[in-house]
């Protein structure tokens, strides 16, 4: 079957942590010198450390942020200060508050080519709100938020909910996410092909196609590469961005 639908993760795929905002607030609260560049550098390391961890996605997200700031130099005894600061920031505005400026135009190209688009996200019930705030929600038919539907990746049922809404078969859909153990494993269990978002080219050893940005994913799809078999190795990375 040909590709008809493309589903996307939200956090660290369509939306990214607002590192300047986080660094400024936590530095002020803890007295630790933090920069947006430092947090961005440590972000992938923190995600890799926690990718296989147990618990719900909300628990993993909490541990990710705790690990991120620990790697950034905040002492463990200030964890509660960090947690309180982040909760207040998130209450005011979603922490995942940045978007690659090339993402919107790339999604418009996909829609213009006739592909149906949706979001499948492990989130806290506010994924749609975050997409609206960054003017991305209009590109998608729906947002499946794990908190609202009661099942989260890598459980294949969450992908099944999205496919059912679209009326497409798993073989007609592609998923784009950023975590191998959550996104790739879950989507494959549901029968979907996958592209792993890998901005720094650190996942090229994996048995999945990778791309540096949503714009590069779209270039792959529109050039017909979506039908290719995934292969590991350097030739598998599209548009690599080096740190």
Could you tell me the residue ranges of all domains in the chain? 5-14+98-238, 19-92
CA distance 146 to 159: 10
Q: What is the DSSP string of 49-69?
A: HHTT--S-HHHHHHHHHHHHH
Fold of 5-14+98-238: Rossmann fold (3.40.50)
pTM score, whole prediction = 0.85
CB 223 within 8 A of CB 112: no
CA distance 160 to 199: 28
CA distance 64 to 50: 7
CA distance 195 to 13: 11
Options 1.10.150, 1.10.60, 2.60.40, 1.25.10; CATH for 19-92 is: 1.10.150
- Whether the bond between 85 and the residue before it is cis, its omega within 30 degrees of 0, is no
H helices, E strands: number in the chain: 10, 7
- From first to last of its 243 residues, what are the pLDDT tens digits of the chain? 699 999 999 999 999 999 999 999 999 999 999 999 999 889 878 877 766 666 666 777 788 899 999 999 999 999 999 999 999 998 888 888 999 999 999 999 999 999 999 999 999 899 999 999 999 999 999 999 999 999 999 999 999 999 999 999 999 999 999 999 999 999 999 999 999 999 888 888 889 999 999 999 999 999 985 433 333 333 345 454 433
């Amino acid at each position: 079957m040909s590709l008809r639908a493309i589903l996307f993760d939200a956090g660290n795929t369509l939306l990214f942590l607002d590192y300047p905002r986080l660094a400024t607030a936590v530095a002020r609260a803890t007295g630790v010198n933090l920069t947006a560049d430092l947090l961005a550098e440590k972000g992938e390391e923190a995600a890799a450390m926690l990718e296989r961890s147990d618990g719900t996605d909300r628990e993993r997200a909490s541990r990710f942020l705790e690990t991120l700031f620990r790697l950034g130099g905040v002492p463990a005894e200030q964890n509660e200060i960090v947690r309180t600061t982040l909760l207040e920031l998130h209450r005011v505005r979603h922490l995942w508050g940045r978007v690659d400026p090339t993402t919107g135009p790339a999604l418009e190209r996909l829609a213009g080519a006739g592909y149906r688009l949706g979001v499948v996200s492990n989130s806290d019930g506010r994924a749609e709100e975050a997409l609206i705030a960054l003017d991305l929600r209009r590109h998608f038919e729906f947002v499946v938020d794990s908190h609202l539907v009661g099942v989260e990746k890598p459980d294949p049922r969450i992908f099944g909910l999205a496919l059912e809404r679209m009326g497409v078969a798993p073989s007609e859909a592609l998923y784009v996410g950023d975590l191998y153990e959550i996104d790739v494993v879950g989507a494959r269990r549901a029968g979907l092909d996958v592209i792993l978002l890998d901005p720094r080219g650190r996942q090229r050893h994996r048995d999945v196609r990778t791309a540096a940005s949503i714009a590069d994913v779209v270039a792959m799809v529109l050039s017909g590469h979506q039908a290719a078999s995934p292969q590991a190795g350097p030739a598998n990375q599209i548009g690599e961005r080096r740190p």
